[in-house]
Every structure is written in C-alpha cells, then in structure tokens.
Structure 1
Amino acid sequence: MDTSGESLRFELTPYSVSAKKELPTSGVRGEVGHFGSVTVERCPLHRPLDKGLDTVRLSGPAFPETTFRGKRRSGRASLFKAELTLDGRPAELRFNARALRKEDRALRIAYAGREYVYSVEGLGKAGVLEREGVRVAIEPGPYVPSAGTASTGTATGPADAVDLAIAIVLVEVDTDVLTLGGAALSSPFALMQHFSDRAE
C-alpha cells in the first residue's frame, strides 16, 4: 500500500555504446526499486537531417515509452522547441526563460490530468519534479571520465511509473535555462534562437 511517507532511492549510471554499423548512443540506466530496469538513450552526434532537434528516449518494462525532443544545445536536447510524449500521448510544456525568480522559471508539465512543476536548484545541482503529494529529486553525482555523470534519485510519496519516467528522462536533457546562471549564459543563445525560429 502506498503511503505519503514512503521513499524510494535509486542510482543512474552513465553508459555509451559505439557500434560500427549503427549510430552511437549514450545515456543513463539503472534499477528503480520495484519498477525494475530503466534505460535513457540519446545519440551524441549532431544529425543535420533532424532540423537541429535531438531526441531522448526512455524505456523499461514497467515504464511508459517516453520520448523527449528539443532543439540541440550543448550536445543534447534542450527545452527550446521541446515535445514530451508518454506512450504516444503528448504532454503540455511551459516555462519562462526570462523570469528572474526560480519559481517563475520552473518547467510546468501537464499530462493526463496531472500538473507537474520541474525545477533545478542550480547549475550542476538536483533536478526536482513535483506534483501534489509526490516529489522526485535526481542529484548529479561525480563525473566519470569517458562515460558521464552518475546520478542518485529519491522519490517520496506514492510515485508511479509516469512520475519517475518524466523525472528520469529529463536527466539527459539540457535544463540549464531553468537556473538563473543558465538563463544568463543562454540569453545570447535565446536571442539567436528567437531569430532562427522566425526565419524557419
């Protein structure tokens, strides 16, 4: 029986695969308590045919198939021009990159009648996904050379596979713009983005 006081801890480990005949993939994977295995993958190479968009995919036997697409930035998908789908159903995403307060810059996600708020404590700090009664925080750990950054996740409240899938897929997305430092660093990028969007 789920109780609001329960807590689930899990580890996500970076991996990368380079095959001769296929595109290389990298991402994170791990075991998430009784939900079992989960894998998040993306292609680290820039692919011009994708119109500057990158795709991140999450899969696992107990999880909804989750896909995040966004404008490529810093070698990975970002929140610009972003789309999130779970089991083929789109979620609605909103955020204000120009806001000064952290609460106002947070990413708001609406999916299947649920309202989520995703915020980042700071550059290189934990990403936190919250809805009423549920909180999933994923904190970056030490950087592993040639692999990437390991992460530790903690879910509190009756978190289900949808909550966890959204929080975990965002580990492989560039969410720096949700932090004040990241927003300041990305403002020239945001301006260029504005003009390139209008040009398309």
Structure 2
Amino acid sequence: METSSESLKFELLPYKISTKKELPKAGLKGDVGHFGSVTVERCPLYRPLEKGMDTARLSGPAFPVTTFRGKRRSGQPSLFKAELTLDGRRAELRFNARALRKEDRALRIAYEGREYVYSSEDLGRAKVLEREGVRVTMRSGQYVPPATTFRAGTATGPVDAVDLAIAIVLEEVDTEVLTLSGAVFSSPFALMQKFSDQAE
C-alpha cells in the first residue's frame, strides 16, 4: 500500500481593530483546513502596567488556548524572558541569541514529551517548526493592496492542533534574533536585557 505524505495548506489574514471602548487588537485569523478557524490576538499598544512584557494569545475551537509572553520588542512579544503555555501547561524554551551558526540559534521547544526546533530560513522570509515526522512552514502569502500580506502556511506529516498552534502563535512574536542579522542587531538589546534583569 502506498503512503502519500500528508500536506495541509492554509492562509491567515492580518487584522487590526480599534474602538473607543476597548484596547486596540491586532493579530492573525483564518481557517486551517479541517482544524477550522483560528485567531491570534495581541494588543499593539504599549501598556506600562505590563512592565515591558507583551502577550500573543491563540484560540480556536479545535486548538489548545496558546499564550506566548515575552519582553516587548517592535510592538510584539519577543524571545527574551519568554513563556509559552498551551491549555495552561508550560513548554520549555531554549535559544542562544549570541550563536553564529543557524542551527545553534534555533529556538528549541520541549512540550509534553515532544521536542521541536523552530528556525528562520530563506533570509528570515520563512519560519519553520519541526519535530520528528512533522514540519510546519510559515511565509508571506498573497499581497492584497493597499497594505495587507497574508501569511501562508504549509504543514507536512501527521500534523496536529498542538503543532499548528505553536507555529501560528509564533507568527505574532518578534523572532528576528533567530536570523544572523537579527542576532547581530539584537546583541546590544540582549546586553541591555541582561543588565535590566540583574537590576530587577
């Protein structure tokens, strides 16, 4: 019997909402094949009470509620001081902002017995989340004037809602430090983080 490699393609639309009654919201939303609808939400406004931290939250009927919290950078949570939780259970995150080799700069995620590697490819234009047998790639999709670019996803292997939730929530995280140029530009930022952490 032939086994064909499973492949899932989807597109997510960036959105922004601002009303007088509530804090503004920004993020991504769309349908992910048979997994159905998903929304990632964050507040683009700087909030002093958050002490320099920012949060992106993913939700959808078929997905675990996924929250990524990290030091705010470029209007998004970053990989510094980062925490990732899925349905209240925390994942372990490891990355080396000062590494020069691409594989050493990758973000490593351990969750419920799974080991993921999240890396930047194609000069930062594509982000790839991998675990054994599964690969989810996110890159820029179709451009819709005046200023909207969809995010296009491709998943191969026996992908599930946890794999997709992690890959999609990271689209609303500043992961520039995973590219070599980002690592170089981020080194002063990393140094400042170190001093501010020690001062707290």
In which range does the TM-score fall when normalised by the shorter chain?
A: over 0.9
Provide the C-alpha distance between the structure 2 equivalents of 1:78 and 1:87, rounded to a whole number of angstroms. 20
Deviation at 1:140, TM superposition (A): 2.0
Provide the C-alpha distance between the structure 1 equivalents of 2:77 and 2:64, rounded to a whole number of angstroms. 20
Consecutive unaligned residues in structure 1, runs of 5 or more: none
Count, aligned residues: 198
> What is residue 104 of structure 1 aligned with on the other side?
104
Deviation at 1:52, TM superposition (A): 0.5
User: Are 1:8 and 2:8 matched, yes or no?
Assistant: yes
TM-score under structure 1 length normalisation = 0.95
Provide the C-alpha distance between the structure 2 equivalents of 1:148 and 1:173, rounded to a whole number of angstroms. 18
Consecutive unaligned residues in structure 2, runs of 5 or more: none
> What is residue 116 of structure 2 aligned with on the other side?
116
> What is residue 128 of structure 1 aligned with on the other side?
128
Q: Do the aligned partners of residues 175 and 161 (structure 1) sit closer, same or farther apart at CA in structure 2, a change above 3 Å counting?
A: same
Contact residue 82 and residue 93 of structure 1 kept, 8 A: yes
Contact residue 78 and residue 174 of structure 1 kept, 8 A: yes
Partner amino acid, structure 1, of 2:132: E
Provide the C-alpha distance between the structure 2 equivalents of 1:76 and 1:146, rounded to a whole number of angstroms. 23
User: What percentage of aligned pairs have identical amino acids?
Assistant: 79
Deviation at 1:146, TM superposition (A): 7.6
Provide the C-alpha distance between the structure 1 equivalents of 2:143 and 2:81, rounded to a whole number of angstroms. 28
Deviation at 1:141, TM superposition (A): 3.3
The alignment partner of 1:41 has SS state of: strand
**Equivalences for residues 44-193 of structure 1 within 5 A:** 44-121=44-121, 123-141=123-141, 149-193=149-193
Provide the C-alpha distance between the structure 2 equivalents of 1:189 and 1:145, rounded to a whole number of angstroms. 34
Deviation at 1:145, TM superposition (A): 7.0
Q: RMSD of the alignment, in Å? A: 1.5
User: Are 1:23 and 2:8 matched, yes or no?
Assistant: no
Deviation at 1:61, TM superposition (A): 0.2
Contact residue 124 and residue 179 of structure 2 kept, 8 A: no
Partner amino acid, structure 2, of 1:81: K
Q: Which moved more, 1:119-128 or 1:89-98?
A: 119-128
Q: Do the aligned partners of residues 194 and 17 (structure 1) sit closer, same or farther apart at CA in structure 2, a change above 3 Å counting?
A: same
